[in-house]
Chains A and B, each alone.
Chain A
Amino acid sequence: MDYTKRVSQHTATAYSKIGLKAGLEIHQQLDTGKLFCACPGYLRSEEPHFSVIRRLHAVAGETGEVDAAVAHEAVLGRTFLYQGYNDTTCLVELDEEPPHFVNEAALDEALKIALLLNCEVYPVTQVMRKTVIDGSNTSGFQRTVLLAHDGFIETSFGKVKVDTVCLEEDAARIVSRDEKAAVYRLDRLGIPLVEIATAAVLDTPDKIKETALKLGEILRACKVKRGIGTIRQDVNISIKGHDRVEVKGFQDPAMMIETVRKEVLRQETELKQGKKEGAVRNALPSGDTEFLRPMPGKARMYPETDLPLLTIGRERLNMLKKILPKLRTEIRDELKKKGLSEEMIRLVLDGHLDEFETLIKIYSKDADLVAKMVVLWRQEFASKLKKSFEEIEGVLNERVLEQVLEALVKGEIGEGDIKGVLWKVTNGAKIEDALKIEKIDDHVIEEKIIAIVRDKPGLRAGAYMGMVIAKMPGVDKRKAMEILNRLVK
């Protein structure tokens, strides 16, 4: 039978007949500092400041056996180069200092997610080391801690069980790789990741997709990073008789249905050939999957001896329950009342709500201005300078925006100066210097504008504006417009 025909013929009943069982595993970066050190957690594009050469060695597991996945990754004799930045990489990422106590902000955020997923939080838990020797972790392991279990989310087809919520550190970012050496960048190593695993109860591709979207919405209500690479979605898929296959690397939930369909077909074909072995496979943009490595075993996990047990008290959970983020629909209405356009609301909700709400408290007169500061202008500067949004955000951080708004409230600068100030800071100016704006006295502005109007009478206000800017390039445009509106009726 024709391949596409076979694919389209899989209906819900057909899936239940072949016993499709799927679960989701979602890894979402949190928008906080790194998990086990005091470094900020954003990716950088400029030349690294230093690099360190390392080799990894084979280590026998705690019981002596070598895990199948680890054996597959065996990298003996290979050299690893780790790139870092003096101001955003420290000894912890280089495996030259023991991990600091878990980042409280990240822990709070992960716990909020667990609570939103209706999970039971473990009162005491232990940070574990998961052996990874592809070089993506300088230590040779990834730190992970199980926080909560047995939750659920509501969907159109009923409750979907959430098995576990873990908090993990992200791995270093691969820059290049060949047979002898691999180059990694340490900017990503240690960024907190929340890992959510649902039970393997999803029995159609549509349910998988809906569940993924629902989880995504809950995550976005919390302080999570946005953009490509900040969320990684894996789907565990098996049909009756076949071992579990982990399909990794979905960026787009839209591809999920197609990919699951094709994976089911692949497993059917394998069963016909007498094969049933599970594996980790990579999702390709075409909807196909390719073999990545064998399934990992649990021999890869042992305790992080450098850290004490993690205790999560009742009081902490009760406090977090009080500040659980609101649902998006509620927030949408509130922002609308503040006068934001639909587009602006979308942008603010896209991971910037916290900042927006902090800043609007400083300057509540113009929600649109605050929204522009938080999202639009940073985006604009990022594309102008060909840098990542996160990088610009690192420079134009909340504290900088606060200072600028404080200056505005004090009358030291005008609303029209703000974008210029931010641009200067983005280009390396100290905030104090950027705020020193040569203020043209209001009277002088008015005098000059009167002169312009007198010179060429009878035009509309907008037409004069161009001339005003040409004469006084640094002029506060709002102020100028105000004056023009008064003069030209």
Chain B
Amino acid sequence: MAELGFNAGDEVRFRLAQEEVDGIVLENPDSSVVLIKLKSGYNVGIPRDNILASRVLKKYERVVKEEKKSEVKRKKGLPVLGLVVTGGTIAAKLDAKRGGTSWLTDPGELMRFYPELFEMVDVKTIDVPFMTSSEAMTSEHWIKIAESVKKMVDDPEIKGVIVTHGTDFLHYTAAALSFFLQDLTKPVVLTYSQRSIDRASSDANLNLVCAARAALSDVAEVMLVGHANLNDEYCHAMRGSKVRKMHSSRRDAFQPINCEPIAKVWPDKIEFISEYRKSPGGKTVLDTSFTDKVALVKFYPGQDPSILDLYALKFKGVVIEVGGLGHLPPSEAKHNWVPALKKHIRQGLVICAAAQTIYGRLDPFVYSNGREIVDAGVIFLDDMLPETAMVKLGWVLGHFGWKGKVKEKMKENVSGELNERIAV
């Protein structure tokens, strides 16, 4: 096969066995096919092997834009917010030339994509600590976001902060911020989009505008705001430590677990459903001590307890997603977990239990199988979400001063992660 002398963006005439085809070459990760845009606007592929010859009709001219970041024109008189942009679908735009997506970080561009937000509030600060998808994040990203937020909530002019984020692991970040931002004085609102923003039907607009509405409220908590249902009508504001992505694609993917939403949020009003924390005044404390030597393990029938040996090699603590009210194979089972639990707890591994059912509260005292696990020294985390429990365990174990108080801290309701009363 001859080397073909054209690049993405070039207008090229291809000679094939039967015909000639003109088109603009697009980037295509599959090098065996040349993807081109025809004059009609349609894209088609030509297998490289079918190309007999090619001639560049017009070289691609890269329009070099000045690398000057545009500024957001502030609108005086509107309520003032801060915005932290971190990646995800809500900040990804389609790049037609390259055929992929690129990040939306330029403030002027943000305004162009989300005019409704910028008409509603005065965004004083836009911080972009990094741009990444949520699956690529680590606890270091959580800490960076917390630091950005802290700076903004300390600004007396700023009433609240919005954080935009990818959806897949957004609830982990929400939990982390719930623990990292202690004595919070202002609303911190995470939001997202499930449908890309190139489409007129994107859920991003309503989510952002409702996030702004929640960020202007007197709720001094970390919240996640997103579609309440499939309608583009209102959103739910949900407690950051009690929310989980429960659907892979629906716009109402995030649901409050074992509690009610804090509020229903419309673009122009907010209606509270639950009790919430108001600011007692003072200053927000940034407490990002964290160890990532913690793991989340899902138990399944037949699982060999020696799996704990592997975890114990590297980790200080594990959260096990246990069955039902809090069960693992008891002493009468062939693969009895009790000795392994006892051994590792004795040797210093912190083992917590959270509900694999996601919904509902653990209660190990209903069956003897559960009591055996309690007696082994496993810390039962009631109705706490497994993901929240894992993040909290990393945070608690990150505080060396709390050694000896780990169980007490895990059972302490730090940011609403425990709910004593699950409504019908």
**Complex: A386 Cα to B345 Cα, angstroms:** 72
Q: Does A206 contact B (CB under 8 A)?
A: no
A450 at the interface (CB under 8 A from B): no
Q: Is B301 an interface position by the 8 A CB rule?
A: no
- Taking residues whose C-beta sits less than 8 angstroms from the other chain, chain A's interface range is 35 or more
B96 pairs with A124, CB closer than 8 A: no
Give, as a whole number of angstroms, the nearest-CB distance from A168 to chain B.
11
User: Within 8 Å of chain B (Cβ to Cβ): is A60?
Assistant: yes
Mask, B176-207, CB within 8 Å of A = 1, is 00000000000000000001111111100110
B43 touches A303 (CB 8 A): yes
Given A91-B250, A97-B249, A123–B202 Cβ distance below 8 Å?
Answer: no
Q: How far is B236's CA from A28's CA once the two chains are assembled, in angstroms?
A: 43
Choose, from A2-10, A126-134, A209-217, A358-366, the stretch at the interface: A126-134
Min distance, Cβ B1 to any Cβ of chain A, angstroms? 16
State whether the Cβ of A57 lies closer than 8 Å to any Cβ in chain B: yes
Closest to B253 in A: A96
Q: Knowing A59-B197, A305-B196 touch, does A146 contact B44 (C-beta < 8 A)?
A: yes
Docked pose: A140 CA to B204 CA in angstroms: 14
Check B199 against A141 for contact (C-beta < 8 Å). Answer: yes
Q: Does B271 contact A (CB under 8 A)?
A: no
A125 is an interface residue with CB less than 8 A from chain B: yes
| With known contacts A54-B232, A91-B250, A309-B30, A139–B199 Cβ distance under 8 A | yes
Beta-carbon contact of A123 and B45 below 8 Å:
yes
In whole angstroms, how far apart are the Cα atoms of A123 and B197 in the complex? 31
Closest to B26 in A: A303
B33 in complex: contacting residue of A54, A94, A124, A305, CB < 8 Å? A124
Quote the shortest CB–CB distance from B74 to chain A (angstroms).
22
Q: Does B129 contact A (CB under 8 A)?
A: no
Q: Which of the candidate stretches B34-42, B379-387, B399-407 sits at the interface with the other chain?
A: B34-42
Chain B residues contacting A145 (CB-CB under 8 Å) are 42
User: Do residues B199 and A301 form an inter-chain contact, with CB atoms below 8 A?
Assistant: no
Contact of B70 with A by CB under 8 A: no
Given contacts A52-B231, A91-B250, A96-B250, contact A122 B45 (CB under 8 A): yes
Tell me which residues across on chain B come within 8 A of A123, comparing CB atoms. 45-47, 50
Known A146-B38, A309-B30; judge A62-B96 contact (CB<8 A).
yes
Q: What is the bound-complex CA distance between A63 and B198, given in angstroms?
A: 12
Question: Is B231 a contact of A60 with CB atoms below 8 Å?
Answer: no
User: When the two chains form their complex, are residues A59 and B199 in contact, meaning their CB atoms are under 8 A apart?
Assistant: yes
Residues of chain B with a CB closer than 8 A to A58's CB = 200
Contact A133 B44 (CB under 8 A): no
Considering the chains assembled together, what is the distance between the CA atoms of A41 and B394 in angstroms?
A: 51
Cα A124 to Cα B46 in complex, Å, equals 6
Q: Does chain B have a CB within 8 A of A95? A: yes
Q: Does A302 contact B (CB under 8 A)?
A: yes
Chain B residues, Cβ within 8 Å of A302: 94, 96, 198
Judged by a CB distance under 8 angstroms, whether B101 is at the interface is yes
Contact B40 A59 (CB under 8 A): no
| B249 closest partner in A (C-beta) | A97
Instruction: Say yes or no for A298: interface residue by CB 8 A criterion.
Output: yes
Q: In the complex, what residue of chain B is closest to A140 when comparing beta carbons? A: B200
- Bound-state CA distance A98–B196 (Å) is 11
Query: A166 vs B38: C-alpha distance in the bound complex, in angstroms?
Result: 14
Confirm or deny: B412 has a beta carbon within 8 angstroms of a beta carbon on chain A. no
Instruction: Assess whether A483 is interfacial by the CB under 8 Å rule.
Output: no
Whether B66 is near chain A, meaning CB under 8 Å from some CB there, is no
- Out of A60, A122, A124, A140, which one reaches B201, CB within 8 Å? A140
B421 interfacial by beta-carbon distance below 8 Å: no
Question: Does any Cβ of B come within 8 Å of A53's Cβ?
Answer: yes
B375 an interface residue at 8 Å Cβ cutoff?
no
Closest to A70 in B: B200
Chain B proximity of A167: nearest CB distance (Å): 12
Report the minimal beta-carbon distance from B308 to chain A, rounded to whole angstroms. 38
B251 at the interface (CB under 8 A from A): yes
Asked if A412 lies at the interface with its beta carbon under 8 angstroms from chain B, I say no
A120 close to B (CB within 8 Å): yes
In the complex, the answer to whether A95 meets B201 with C-beta atoms within 8 Å is: yes
A54 to B41, CA, bound (A): 28
| CB neighbors of B among A380-410 (8 A) | none
Contacts of A91 in B (CB 8 A): 249-250
The reply to whether B45 and A309 contact each other, CB–CB distance below 8 Å, is yes
Do B43 and A128 touch (CB < 8 A)? yes
- In the complex, what distance in Å separates the CA atom of A122 from the CA atom of B113? 36
Whether A131 lies near B96 (C-beta < 8 A) is no
A residues near B96, Cβ cutoff 8 Å: 62-63, 302-303
A138 in the interface, Cβ–Cβ < 8 Å?
yes
Chain A positions within 8 Å of B33 at CB level: 124, 309
Q: Are B198 and A146 closer than 8 Å at their CB atoms?
A: no
Q: Which of A96, A164, A166, A301 lies in contact with B251, CB distance below 8 A?
A: A96
Within 8 A of A (CB), among B27-72: 28, 30, 33, 35, 38-47, 50
B347 touches A (CB below 8 Å): no
Q: Which residues of A contact B35 (CB under 8 A)?
A: 124, 126, 309
CB distance from A193 to the nearest CB of B (A): 15
Evaluate contact between B195 and A56: CB separation under 8 angstroms: no
Contact B201 A138 (CB under 8 A): yes
Contact A125-B41, Cβ < 8 Å, known A54-B231, A302-B96: no
Cβ contacts under 8 Å, B196 to chain A:
305
Q: Is B230 an interface residue (CB 8 A)?
A: yes
| CA distance in complex: A57, B200 (Å) | 5
Asked whether B206 lies within 8 Å of A120 as measured between CB atoms, the reply is no
How near does chain B come to A240, taking the closest CB pair, in angstroms? Answer: 23
* B314 interfacial contact with A, CB 8 Å: no
Q: Separation in Å of the B127 CB from the closest CB of chain A?
A: 24
- A303 and B199 contacting across the interface, CB-CB below 8 Å: no
Query: Do A128 and B41 touch across chains, with their CB atoms under 8 A apart?
Result: yes
Can you list 13 A-B pairs with a CB-CB distance of less than 8 A? A52-B231, A57-B116, A57-B200, A59-B200, A96-B251, A128-B42, A128-B43, A131-B200, A133-B200, A298-B39, A299-B41, A303-B43, A309-B33
With A57-B202, A60-B112, A300-B41 already in contact, 13 other A-B pairs whose C-beta atoms are closer than 8 Å? A52-B231, A57-B116, A57-B201, A94-B230, A95-B199, A123-B45, A125-B45, A128-B41, A131-B200, A133-B200, A140-B199, A140-B200, A303-B99
